[in-house]
Amino acid sequence: MSRQYCVIMAGGVGSRFWPLSRQNKPKQFLDILGVGSSLLQQTYERVSAICPDTNIYIVTNENYVDLVKEQLPSIPVDNILAEPDRRNTAPCIAYAAYKIIKKDPQANMLVTPADHFILDNDKFIETVNAGLNFVAENDVLLTLGIKPTRPETGYGYIQIEQENKQSIGNVDVYKVKTFTEKPDLKMATIFYESGEFYWNAGIFLWKVQTILDAFVKYMPEMIDEFDRIKGDLDTEREKASIADVYSKIQSISIDYGVMEKAENVFVIPSSFRWSDLGTWGALYENSADKDDNGNVKVGNVMTYNTKNSLINTPEKRLVVVQGLENVIIAESDNMLLITTMKDEQFIRQIVNDIRLEKGEDFV
């Protein structure tokens, strides 16, 4: 019996990819890279080399259960965990941990977002397998750090204790010194040049018992709620009981709730190419299919004197762009976004304004 379990977190909205990513079909369910499969399906393909389908759990919003079933038909229906509300990553992980420990108290868990870009699957699988071996032998909370390629202000950082190194085969493991939220450019440059900091990829490994022990220590009020209804899991009462729990617990990330407080946190510095694909700009950076002028074009697009731009429009419409540089043009259904690359962080505000002024139909 395999002790390795994989949890894919697939409940986000991806508002910064508006207008393609919408509430009824967020970015994890889209083929946003134009490769013939959605980000969720690509994540599943990666982890299926590590865990059998029976040990892969998808945690998603209850509105997306049918999308998960459609895109991942080989996943057992009972392994699709429906959240009634969005409560960030800590409750999502706790829910999955309670389900898994009921099935296998000695389980090891990999937790990964559904919507990240990873280029080197073989390196990812090697790293994760080494990490699972490490957590099986040690009561630690392990995360993956990505070697920075630039002073990035859009990611959190993990600082390592360079003198506190262990090895598992070809993979090094370090004790974590500090977690730092998204820094300004000056600090990001210092982090990048120091060699002690890695991007926080939001990918975690641990024994299921170890993470539950950490919840008890650092988030007792939340875990008391899950503990109260654990007997209802895998029964017809599960849906109502989870709805009750989610109505009472706070929305909080696993980083804030546990990782930044715990003492037994370790990291594997990883070298596979990674992006959280959080923005159109990140998609542009990670797209291999740029034309001679640095444009990424998806759809029926013609460009003239246009450079370093991303144009993503439906095939049914001919789109001609002339004389622009460093812009994002994205169209979906009856919505069109035109903005500059440097202002893309404003898209989340735009979506909030649209919700208030134009209604839910457009988000």
Please check whether residues 302 and 204 belong to one and the same domain.
Answer: no
Q: Which CATH number belongs to the domain containing residue 263 in this structure?
A: 3.90.550.10
Do both 201 and 87 map to the same domain? yes
CA distance 358 to 212: 43
- For residues 314 and 224, state if they share a domain: no
User: Does residue 158 sit within a domain?
Assistant: yes
Mean pLDDT, range 216-240, rounded to an integer: 97
Please indicate, yes or no, whether residues 181 and 68 belong to a single structural domain of this protein: yes
Q: What is the pLDDT of residues 273-310, one digit of tens each?
A: 998 888 899 899 888 889 999 999 999 999 999 999 99
Q: Does position 149 have pLDDT exceeding 80, yes or no?
A: yes
Q: How many domains does the chain have?
A: 2
Asked whether the beta carbons of 323 and 305 are under 8 A apart, the reply is yes
Closest CA to 267 of 188, 196, 353: 196
- Same domain flag for 298 and 256: no
> Where residue 1 falls among pLDDT bands split at 50, 70, 90?
low
Q: pLDDT class for 193, splitting at 50, 70, 90?
A: confident
pLDDT score of 170: 82
337 lies in some domain: yes
Q: What is the pLDDT of residue 220?
A: 97
Give residue 330's domain range: 291-362
Q: Of 1-5, 94-98, 270-274, 346-350, which range is least confident?
A: 1-5
On whether both 265 and 309 belong to a single domain, the answer is: no
pLDDT tens, 320-334?
A: 999 999 999 999 989
Cβ atoms of 184 and 169 within 8 Å: the answer is no
pLDDT at 2: 75
Roughly what angle, to the nearest 10 degrees, separates helices 208-218 and 220-228?
120
- Cα 225 from Cα 247, distance rounded (Å): 10
Structural domain ending residue among the three candidates 226, 251, 278: 278
Of 278, 311, 342, which residue is a domain's last? Answer: 278
* Out of 166-175, 201-210, 354-363, least confident range: 166-175
Least confident interval from 25-34, 65-74, 122-131: 25-34
d(CA 60, CA 80): 7
Is position 27 within any domain? Answer: yes
CA distances from 144 to 133, 152, 162, 294, 337 (A): 14, 17, 15, 31, 34
Is residue 256 assigned to a domain?
yes
Is residue 206 located within the same domain as residue 309? Answer: no
End position of a domain, from candidates 256, 278, 300:
278
The answer to whether residue 286 sits within a structural domain is: no
Bond prior to 19 in cis (omega within 30° of 0): yes
Q: Running DSSP on this structure, what letter comes out for residue 324?
A: -
The answer to whether residues 317 and 215 belong to one domain is no
pLDDT recorded at residue 288 = 81
Q: What is the pLDDT of residue 204?
A: 97
Is 219 in the same domain as 310? no
Whole-model pTM? 0.94
81 and 208 in a single domain? The answer is yes
Q: Are residues 102 and 131 in the same domain?
A: yes
- Say if residue 189 is in the same domain as residue 228: yes
Total number of residues shown for the chain: 363
Asked if residue 284 belongs to a domain, the reply is: no
* Chain centre distance of CA 305: 36
CA distances from 341 to 281, 344, 349 (A): 6, 5, 15
Inside any domain, residue 220: yes
